[in-house]
Structure 1
Amino acid sequence: MNKEESKKLLIEELGIHFENEYSLPPLAARIFASLVITEEEGLTFDDCLIKRGASKSSISTSLNLLLQMNFIKYFTKSGDRRRYFKIAEKDAFFVEKLNKTLKKLEDESEMIEKVAAFNKTYNAEKHQANKEKKKIYMKCLEDTKAIYKKTIVNLKNLEQ
């Protein structure tokens, strides 16, 4: 398999991953994958149009969605009126993704505590039956949150 065939296959696999991971429409996921994989400094609207073979309105809609989600940004070159699209700063993207997951973990911890408090007050038997399970689960959540926080700090330190 040559480089271009490998690249097309990787873009397709990465596109499917982005569809599932970020609930992106297929075209937006493939454009994002193309931007992740490209060796070029950035891709123009026309580059995306040629590479994806979709309509101008579909490409435009997908690029605007990716811009709104802060997955990509654009820049211009002196003397060139075209916009060039590239992925947002990689470290910032990773930190944002980790922060979203951390928020979900914190929300989960809060809800588990509320359910436990309710059961302790109104259903002592259920509270007692689930006490050890809750303890183990909460320890897992706390350990995971600590790892995420440490990773975020490490990524931010790389930026400096």
Structure 2
Amino acid sequence: MKIDKEIFREMVNFYGEAFHLPPLAAKIYAYLIFDFERKGISFDEFVEIFSASKSSVSSSLNLLLNLNIIKDFNKIDERKRFFVMNEKYMKIRFEEIIEKMERELLLLENLKKFRDTDCEVALQKFETYTNLFKKNITNIKDTLDQL
């Protein structure tokens, strides 16, 4: 499999931070992104590629599987498990973002009711903030529908 080392390093850093992944799990995920044909990478290949212990690779793969970031499968003629990115993960991720934004929007509405102010500046800022949430929620939902 052909990978670009600089892009790989950037992806490891980005996904490690974005998904709060330990370094080896971030490396595994970034590596799987380069599997454009989705043939899958076996456990043994990960051990060899990253010169990591079997227990470290196993822990990282289990973490990624539990987070639904990757999937595993078996080929008919082999006992080995192969791992690929979960194509549906981005949709899952953005659905979680929508849920969090909707929860925060509800909290803000409740806070507005509790505060009960007539201050135009405060009300305008609140309206601007809630409109930003609503527009982003709608935009993400519309985009997900297209996927």
Same fold, judged at TM 0.5 (above): yes
**Counterpart selection for 1:25 from 22, 25, 30:** 22
Match of 1:99 among 95, 102, 107: 95
Kindly state the Cα deviation for residue 107 of structure 1 after the two structures are TM-superposed.
1.3
The structure that has the greater radius of gyration is 1
What do residues 126-155 of structure 1 show as CA deviations (whole Å, max 9, x unaligned)? x55411111111111111111011011111
Higher helix share: 1
1:116 corresponds to? 112
The runs of at least 4 consecutive aligned structure 1 residues that moved more than 4 Å come to none
The CA RMSD over aligned residues, in Å, is 1.7
Distance 2:82 2:54 in 1: 16
TM-score normalised according to structure 1 size: 0.84
Count of residue correspondences: 146
Number of the residue aligned with 2:49:
51
What are the equivalent positions in structure 2 for 1:7-156 lying under 5 Å apart? 7-39=4-36, 41-88=39-86, 90=87, 92-120=88-116, 124=117, 128-155=120-147
Task: Determine helix, strand or coil for the equivalent of 1:112.
Answer: helix
Q: 1:79, CA displacement in angstroms?
A: 2.4
Q: Is contact 2:35-2:84 (8 Å) kept? A: no
Determine the C-alpha separation between the residues in 1 that align with 2:19 and 2:131.
28
Q: Could you give the per-residue CA deviations for residues 30-54 of structure 1, whole angstroms, max 9, x where no partner exists?
A: 0011011134511001111111111
In structure 2, relative to structure 1, the CA distance for the partners of 1:10 and 1:74 (3 Å cut) is same
- Tell me, which stretches of 5 or more residues in structure 2 are unaligned? none
TM-score normalised over the length of structure 2 = 0.91
Equivalent-residue separation in structure 2 for 1:56 and 1:111 (angstroms): 45
Q: 1:119 to 1:129 in 2, by over 3 A?
A: farther
